[in-house]
């Protein structure tokens, strides 16, 4: 039980660090990694609006950042679906 509390507390500290000290593009990358790891797959079923809501941002900003990541070859975008490419490191 204490291990579970410690794990949840560390997760909370990670989220606070992301919000307080990271830029939105870094927060987006962290969020995508978390979604992929939780799903156990590089395929993420989420809309840009869903991600924007999770990160307290606008859909337009998230769409722009995702498009930049797609141009870098990190992911592929489809409607309500994001495929993380092998260049997108899930374990950082």
CATH number at residue 66: 1.10.10.10
What are the residues facing 81 on neighbouring strands?
78
Closest Cα partner for 78 from 54, 43, 32?
A: 43
Does 30 map to a domain?
A: yes
Strand order in the sheet with 75-78: 43-44, 81-84, 75-78
Q: One digit per residue, pLDDT tens: the chain, 92 residues?
A: 888 999 999 888 877 776 666 688 888 998 999 999 999 999 999 999 999 999 989 999 999 999 999 999 999 999 889 999 988 887 75
Q: pTM to 2 decimals?
A: 0.75
Q: Is residue 47 part of a domain?
A: yes
User: Domains in the chain: how many in total?
Assistant: 1
Looking at the domain assignment, is residue 61 inside a domain? yes
In a domain, 17, yes or no: no
The residue segments making up the domain with residue 89 are 23-92
């Amino acid at each position: 039980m204490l291990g579970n509390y410690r794990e949840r507390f560390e997760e909370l500290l990670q989220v606070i660090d992301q919000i307080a000290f990271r830029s939105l593009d870094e927060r987006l990358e962290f969020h995508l990694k978390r979604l992929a790891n939780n799903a156990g797959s590089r395929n993420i079923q989420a809309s840009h609006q869903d991600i924007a809501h999770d990160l307290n941002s606008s859909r337009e900003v998230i769409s722009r950042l995702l498009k930049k990541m797609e141009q870098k070859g990190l992911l592929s975008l489809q409607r309500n679906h994001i495929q993380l490419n092998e260049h997108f490191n899930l374990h950082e």
